[in-house]
Chains A and B, each alone.
Chain A
Amino acid sequence: MTVKAMTAKEVTRKVFHKEELFILDVRNESDFLDWKIEGKNFDYLNIPYFELLDGVDRILEKLPSDKEILVVCAKEGSSVMVAEMLSEKGLNVSYLKGGMKAWSEHLEPVKVGELTDGGEIYQFVRIGKGCLSYMVISNGEAAIIDATRMTDIFLDFAKEKGAKITHVFDTHLHADHISGGRTMAKETGATYWLPPKDAMEVTFEYMPLEGGNVVTIGNTAIDIHALYSPGHTIGSTSLVVDGKFLLSGDILFINSIGRPDLAGKAEDWVTDLRESLYSRYRELSADLVVLPAHFMIMDELKEDGSVSEKLGTLFVNNHGLNIEDENEFRKLVTENLPPQPNAYQEIRKTNMGKMNPDLEKQREMEIGPNRCAVR
Chain B
Amino acid sequence: MKLLKTDFVLDAKGLSCPMPIVKTKKVMNELQAGQVIEVQATDKGSKADLQAWANSAGHQYLGTIDEGEVFKHYLRKSSNEGFIERKHPRVASNEELETKLEMNEKIVVLDVREEAEYAFCHIPNAISIPLGELEARLSELNKEDKIYVVCRTGNRSDLAAQKLAEKGFVDVINVVPGMSAWTGKTDSLNKEGRK
Residues of chain A touching chain B, judged by Cβ–Cβ distance below 8 Å, are 28-31, 48-51, 53, 73-75, 77-78, 81, 364
Contacts and interface: CB of A to CB of B under 8 A. Distances in A.
A250 B48 CA distance: 32
Given A30-B52, A48-B49, A48-B52, 9 more contacts: A28-B49, A30-B48, A31-B48, A49-B17, A50-B25, A53-B18, A53-B21, A53-B22, A73-B17
B182 interface: no
A31 B47 CA distance: 12
B104 interface: no
A74 to B, nearest CB: 5
Nearest to B54: A50
Interface in B1-58: 16-19, 21-22, 25, 44-45, 48-49, 52-53, 56
A77 B52 contact: no
B52 A50 contact: yes
B48 A77 contact: no
Count chain B CB atoms within 10 A of each CB in A30, A50, A77, A81 and give the residue with the most: A50
A28 B44 CA distance: 13
Interface residues of B, number: 14
Contacts of A50: 18, 21, 25, 49, 52-53, 56
Contacts, number: 41
B169 to A, nearest CB: 44
A73 to B, nearest CB: 7
18 contacts: A28-B49, A29-B52, A30-B48, A48-B52, A49-B18, A49-B21, A50-B18, A50-B25, A50-B56, A51-B53, A51-B56, A74-B17, A74-B45, A75-B45, A77-B16, A77-B18, A78-B17, A81-B18
Contacts of B18: 49-50, 53, 77-78, 81
A367 B45 CA distance: 12
Please list the 7 inter-chain residue pairs (A to B) with the smallest Cβ-Cβ separation, ordered nearest first: A50-B53, A78-B18, A28-B52, A50-B21, A77-B17, A78-B17, A77-B16
Contacts of B17: 49, 73-75, 77-78
Contacts of B53: 48, 50-51
Interface of B: 16-19, 21-22, 25, 44-45, 48-49, 52-53, 56
Contacts of A77: 16-19
User: Quick one: which of B18, B48, B52 has the most chain A CB within 10 A?
Assistant: B18
B25 A53 contact: yes
B90 to A, nearest CB: 42
B188 to A, nearest CB: 22
A94 to B, nearest CB: 18
A75 B16 contact: yes
Contacts of A28: 48-49, 52
Nearest to B24: A50
A110 B9 CA distance: 52
Looking at B17, B19, B52, the one whose CB has the most chain A CB atoms below 10 A away is B17
A21 B19 CA distance: 28
Contacts of A75: 16-17, 45
Contacts of A30: 48, 52
Contacts of B22: 53
Nearest to A74: B45
A312 B84 CA distance: 73
A48 B25 CA distance: 14
A51 B54 CA distance: 10
B44 A364 contact: yes
A49 B52 CA distance: 11
A86 to B, nearest CB: 14
